[in-house]
Chain A
Amino acid sequence: MAHENHEQVDALTGIATTGHSWDDIQELNNPLPRWWLWSFYATIVWAVVYCVFYPAWPLVSSYTKGMFGWQSREAIVQDLDTLKAQRAGMTAQLAQNSLEHIRQNPDLFAFARAQGKASFGDNCAPCHGAGGGGAKGYPNLNDDDWLWGGSLDEVEQTVRFGARSTSDNGHQGSMPAFGRDGMLHREEISHVADFVRSLSGLPTETSAHLAEGGKVFADNCAGCHGDKGQGNKELGAPNLSDKIWLFGSSKSVIMEGLTNGRGGVMPAWHGRLDDTTIKALTLYVHSLSGNQHP
């Protein structure tokens, strides 16, 4: 590779060769474009500068922090604080005003529902479903049937302290296990199950002993569920005469409840969620079912 060959120009392409020649095959000298090369050097410089100022290299138990001390976690916390500051005015109004007042104020109501919806997704959706549609044993919050009452204050009470929860202020009262605890025989349970179905107009077997069932109902059930099975919100006793069934309306499901009892738990959210969040949740849940219970 003599130096004088360096400037040799390839006849076919008109491009200078590097002077390298292997088996008579020559290498054309097509250097990288200058702008490309300098851009490449610039990226290297940039990388070094970046490593100095920002977190970059993993170490054994830590990492290089960089001179700016920047952290993604801190950036998130900052964003959240900014968000809280932006919402502070509305949040304060939510805290100060009564539920009914908020419901009457379109802007506040919209704010509360938006916040409530987000909080519902985080805390309530696992049991009640994403849209509050409920599931077997978990009440549908979109309908007009409320075990513990559907007014704004009643909903707030239930959200705050729960039902059969660990809170002393929570709703108490559950369906006894009439069969398992030997209070009723299997035949009596069968009769009363037929009677209960008849209360809401559901068809019963022709052989059903409705009269016997009615007697058992009056003796054992009417205390909580009422004479006509209309329910009692103080005790969370469901209305048995409407079309809504928390666990199902088939005879076997009703007998199962009579035998083993029922007692679904709603946790108390007081202390786990702050007051404004509970208020927002209340307004959101209340709005799901419409506005017939102020």
Chain B
Amino acid sequence: MADIPLLSPDLAKAASSSDEAPLYLPRKQIYPQAVKGRFRTIKWMVLAITLGIYYFLPFIRWDRGPHAPDQAILVDLANSRFYFFFIEIWPQEVYYITGLLILASLTLFLMNAVAGRVWCGYLCPQTVWTDLFYAVERLIEGDRRERIRNAKQKLTLALAVRKGLKHFIWLMIAWWTGGAWVLYFADAPSLVRDLATFQAPALAYMWIGILTCTTYTLAGWMREQVCTYMCPWPRIQAALTDEYALNVTYRYDRGEPRGSMKKNETLKLQGLPAGDCIDCDQCVAVCPTGVDIRKGLQLDCIQCGLCIDACNTVMEKINRPLNLIAYDTDMNVQARMEGRPEVHRVVRPRTLFYAGIIALVGTIIITSLAIRQNIYLSVMHDRNPLFVRLSDGSVRNGFTIRVANKHLDERHYVVDVEGVPDLKLDVVGGKLDQQGRPVLSVGPDQTLEARVLVTASQVDLSTSADLHFTLTDLASGEAARAADHFKAP
């Protein structure tokens, strides 16, 4: 019974040989080979710079005076403040972070429109840490051939020691990664001291533990699987790219038909077509995700350019022109094959659009940062009662005002209100200055809530009138305004 095929043999064969790959392939262990070249150098430099920034940034100091921390970058969750060098952000200004995220994603899109998955190949933390972990592995267990050989042989004591050492170093790096993370949330030098003397809060140890685990697992064990199966960016990226974007491309117009050096030399002499690719598989050997770039653009390829370095090394040795694999476009490969001129168009509507929005959002953020006020006033009308009739017939409204003093010293603010004739202003708990104006004193980098009573002695009032509150800094004259309403019977 079970022998009956579901389709005719021909059809079944056609279907199974189609390019529909299964959704999940069993994992193939990858042993990337060491490589030297231009893109490898760039990757080392990016690795050094990005990890250097990540691990050491929390130790940079920035003097803000006695009332604020002196750490250049600090996410102060307890006091809900974010410090970035000369910028201090309060929770209600979280839109700056939103703006930053918009900028980040648009920069990602622009990079993608110009040169494909630059992010994946060079900048992504997954790539950077995996690269570092591979470097450790290579240092201890040897290069590709040795590692493949080791994987096939039985575990000896010497090998076990080396593997153990590798995992130990991996865990140390992972632990340092988690350790650096928590330093962004507290004063770095004192937290390091507390961590070392086991006096740091449990939460800090917990976060270090979590990030040690994720770093060790993601960069040590999961590696390219993260890029291929977990990360959404390759899918989104494919939808955002176009035919002009540069990609790591195997120039099949030059490379095919591939064949061994000897065979292709013979073919050439016979006047038959012969490509430059000698099928040495070096591009595959160095690939950190194990793809064959000669199959064209593919989702697993993170476009790190290491195959370019590998191929160029070989091309140099056999005296053939470089850049058989290079940053190029499929469109141009096709064009060369058909004898048409190449098209390079970095400046095009897509890139202009991204650049334009980046410029716009950047300008908005910088402008609003530059002109933002250091004092802030918010006013909330009493909801119950909306108004009160006093014994002499006048009408009073109660408000709760909140004053935010973003200055790093104590400031004194004069409260004023206008909008209805003959208003009387009382600030509960406020003091009066020499001219009899109510003054609120707010501590450095703090907010103050106060109850404000506004009384109108005029009898014929409209049921609702606009009311304008003004807060003036006695020292600098800086003013903040807020609007509300005066309600009457």
Contacts and interface: CB of A to CB of B under 8 A. Distances in A.
B12 A140 contact: no
A121 to B, nearest CB: 11
B4 A291 contact: no
B66 interface: no
Nearest to A114: B449
A11 interface: yes
B384 A131 contact: yes
Interface stretch (B193-201, B239-247, B342-350, B390-398): B390-398
Contacts of A243: 389-393
B42 interface: no
Nearest to B16: A14
B12 A12 contact: yes
A242 interface: yes
A8 B384 contact: no
A291 B426 contact: yes
B222 to A, nearest CB: 11
A55 interface: no
Given A144-B390, A242-B391, A290-B453, A11 B7 contact: yes
Contacts of B382: 131, 142
A14 B2 CA distance: 14
B232 interface: no
Of A17, A103, A133, most buried by chain B (CB within 10 Å of CB) is A133
Q: Please report whether the interface of chain A is mostly helix, strand, loop or mixed according to DSSP.
A: loop
Of B4, B16, B22, most buried by chain A (CB within 10 Å of CB) is B16
Interface string A103-133: 1001001100100000000000000011111
Of B2, B382, B390, most buried by chain A (CB within 10 Å of CB) is B2
B388 A24 contact: no
A38 to B, nearest CB: 15
B28 interface: no
B5 interface: yes
B16 to A, nearest CB: 6
Contacts of B453: 290
B429 interface: yes
Interface residues of A, number: 37
Nearest to A18: B2
A287 B7 CA distance: 87
Of B3, B5, B383, B429, most buried by chain A (CB within 10 Å of CB) is B429
Contacts of A113: 451
Interface string B448-465: 010101000000000000
B373 to A, nearest CB: 23
Interface in B426-460: 426, 428-429, 441, 449, 451, 453
Contacts of A13: 16
B294 to A, nearest CB: 25
Contacts of B12: 11-12
B370 interface: no
A262 to B, nearest CB: 19
Nearest to A245: B389
Of A129, A239, A288, most buried by chain B (CB within 10 Å of CB) is A288
Interface of B: 1-7, 9, 12-13, 15-16, 22, 382-385, 388-393, 396, 398, 426, 428-429, 441, 449, 451, 453
30 contacts: A5-B2, A8-B2, A11-B6, A11-B12, A11-B16, A12-B7, A12-B15, A14-B16, A17-B2, A24-B4, A26-B6, A103-B429, A109-B429, A113-B451, A129-B384, A129-B385, A130-B384, A131-B384, A132-B385, A133-B385, A140-B385, A142-B382, A142-B388, A142-B396, A143-B389, A143-B396, A243-B391, A287-B429, A290-B396, A291-B426
Given A21-B1, A132-B385, A145-B390, 20 more contacts: A11-B9, A11-B12, A12-B6, A12-B12, A19-B2, A106-B429, A130-B383, A133-B384, A133-B385, A133-B388, A134-B385, A142-B382, A142-B385, A142-B396, A142-B398, A144-B390, A243-B390, A243-B393, A287-B429, A288-B451
